[in-house]
Amino acid sequence: MRVATSLVVSVATACAVAAPASAKSIDVDVIASGLDNPRHVAVSPSGDVYVAESGRGGDHATSRSCFDSPEGFACTGATGAVTRVSRHGHRARFRQERIARRLASFAPADGSSAIGPHGIFVSGRDVFVTNGGPTAPTRGDPPVVVLRDPTLIAEEPVSALFGTLLKLRKHGRPQQIADIWRFEHDVNPDADVGNPLIDSNPVDVLVDRGRFLVPDAGGNTVLRVSERGAIRVLSLFPNVDTPSPFGTIPMQAVPTGVVKGPDGAYYVSQLTGFPFPVGGARVFRVNPSTGAYTTYATGFTSAIDLAFGRDGTLYVLEIDSDSILAPGRAGALLAVRRGGGTPRRIPLPAGTLIEPGGIAVGRHGELLVTNHSREAGAGQVLKIDLDD
């Protein structure tokens, strides 16, 4: 469902058996600010923090490519970016710098809820990014899907970056590794489970043994990509019939994050699609060889990302802890002890997480979380120390 992919821009909540008993023992610091719709975050071997910014779309007065989208009436522009946050000097100061600019982005006129760079992974000195979208934009009445190729690219050439896996080259220039949108267009794997719409939104990337794992939230898949850009489906997640006030809905999975666990398996978070039930999201454990998956943990709401701590604790971030259909915007952080089980919420001070978008674990075990992930100019990176 189109509305499912439009909301893949939030954070998840994690809870742990070993979670601190009181929010007073948790130290939260803002180490970056002024970001445009910051989504997933990664940490380099040197400890630098990299953030995918989905941008603020295009100028609605000048963009040549505007359309209706699940985010609202939106226009395309080259405002997506990647920011690096590094420690400056011997004191606890941080410096932020945009190392890549002019990536593809679309958003409503106020720049909120943008779709653009979303997933990020650092391997040595190499930085890999997924540029999300285009999430089935439409025009007309009745609405008709406007395809990226050839229409959107002809209108705004930067649209060629939508739905791609990229490597950042010198001076932040993007090099395409794989065209995820083209794979969805040509193969459309989840059409076999009742989702015929051409809808692609690659939202994360993991590098493992020279290959890439990419969850496509629009396509309800985890894809395996070779170094040369060949794509195949590792896992396909079917719809789940779910009760709602409107009757039974075939709810889509909407995978949002992928990490490699201490046991060598892949772990995948899910946002879920409409009706976005409270407690309806899961974390899946995926066999790296076969793609077969089992449920590792349940009880999440609108999970957007996940990360493993050094002790095997799995941290799960929720963009909205009471469902994205509810009026509030408070996110949550949960933890699951090693081996799986029931998640517990980490008790952060009230108002700490507002629609968070991504999580990573730093070199010293601290958590790095993007915050205000659906806002232009107000995005942050938080450093959360659970053991003060």
pLDDT at 327 (0 to 100): 85
pLDDT of residue 91: 62
133: burial class by Cβ within 10 Å (0-12, 13-18, 19+)?
buried
> Is 6 a residue whose pLDDT tops 80?
no
SS3 170: helix
Q: How far apart (Å, rounded) are the C-alpha atoms in residues 164 and 131?
A: 5
Beta bridge partners of 123: 126
- The yes-or-no verdict on residue 85 having pLDDT over 60 is yes
How many beta carbons lie within 10 A of that of residue 109, not counting itself? 16
Q: 193: phi > 0 → left, psi -120 to 50 → alpha, else beta; which?
A: alpha
Check if the beta carbon of residue 252 is closer than 8 Å to that of residue 245. no
Q: Tens digit of pLDDT for each residue in 15-73? A: 333 333 344 579 999 999 999 999 999 999 999 999 999 999 999 999 999 999 999 99
Alpha-carbon radius of gyration of the chain: 19
Whole-angstrom distance, CA of residue 330 vs CA of residue 211: 35
The model's pLDDT over 311-355, given as tens digits with 9 standing for 90+, comes to 999 999 999 999 888 888 999 999 999 999 889 999 999 999 999
pLDDT for the residue 110: 98
pLDDT of residue 17: 31
Q: How far apart are alpha carbons 112 and 331 in whole angstroms? A: 17
What is the overall mean pLDDT for the chain?
Answer: 92
Question: Are 76 and 58 within 8 A, CB to CB?
Answer: yes
CA distance 379 to 88: 20
Chain-centre distance of CA 124, in angstroms?
Answer: 22
Paired residues of 108 in beta bridges:
none
Percent of the chain surpassing pLDDT 90: 87
User: How far apart are the C-alpha atoms of 342 and 350, rounded to whole Å?
Assistant: 23
Averaged pLDDT, 78-105: 91
Q: Looking at domain 2-88+97-385, does it have CATH number 2.120.10.30?
A: yes
d(CA 59, CA 48): 32
**What does the pLDDT read at residue 15?**
32
pLDDT for res 12:
30
pLDDT of residue 89: 64
The pLDDT tens digits of the residues spanning 221-250 come to 999 999 999 999 999 999 999 998 889 999
Nearest CA to 69 out of 159, 135, 154, 4 is that of: 135
- DSSP letter, residue 165: E
- Region 115-122 average pLDDT: 98
Identify any residues that bridge with 236 across adjacent strands, giving them in sequence order: 221
The terminus-to-terminus CA distance of the chain in angstroms comes to 43
Identify the pLDDT of residue 22.
Answer: 46
- For residues 69-89, average pLDDT: 93
Using a cut of 0.95, tell me whether the model's pTM lies above it: no
